[in-house]
Amino acid sequence: MTGLNHAVTGAAVATAINRPLLALPAALASHFFVDMVPHWDYKVPGGVNGRIKVMAVDLLLSLSLLVVLALTVNAQPWIVFAGGILAISPDIMWLEFFLTGRPSIKGNPRRLINKVRQFHMWIQWSETSWGIIVEAIWFVLMLALIYQLN
């Protein structure tokens, strides 16, 4: 799932709950639930440079969206923004892979981070080109939910 969809989902969770002790862990957990949905992956032409450009645009759009949502929804702005950031954050574990193309899982497979990475790979059972359609629908539904809650 793109960072933009993780961000909008985390913001939706935060808006719906609007209580930091519940909203923020739920926003973080939403990342893994959303990754179970068939989605698009950063398979773009241009190798590493192409991936970096797409990731940079995705991050910029995500941050911009979170600022707009934080300022326009009827919830504590910092919770909305933090919920979106937390929902994106598990993908940081893939940063080395996206930048270098080398596997992110290294060393002892029993290390906690490697177990989380293996789980994260396992739940993403469908990364396809048509997943971008699913992502577009998901994005619209999450925005509608946020403003319906507002």
Domain count, the chain: 1
pLDDT value at position 119? Answer: 79
Query: Using one digit for the tens of pLDDT, what is the confidence trace for 29-47?
Result: 999 999 888 877 766 677 7
Ramachandran region of residue 128, left (φ > 0), alpha (ψ -120 to 50) or beta? Answer: beta
| 36 in any annotated domain | yes
Judge whether 58 and 4 are in contact, CB under 8 Å. yes
Question: How much is the pTM?
Answer: 0.87
Angle between helical axes of 47-72 and 77-88 (0-180°, round to 10): 160
| 54 in any annotated domain | yes
Domain enclosing residue 38, as ranges:
3-91+127-149
Residues of the chain with pLDDT under 50: none
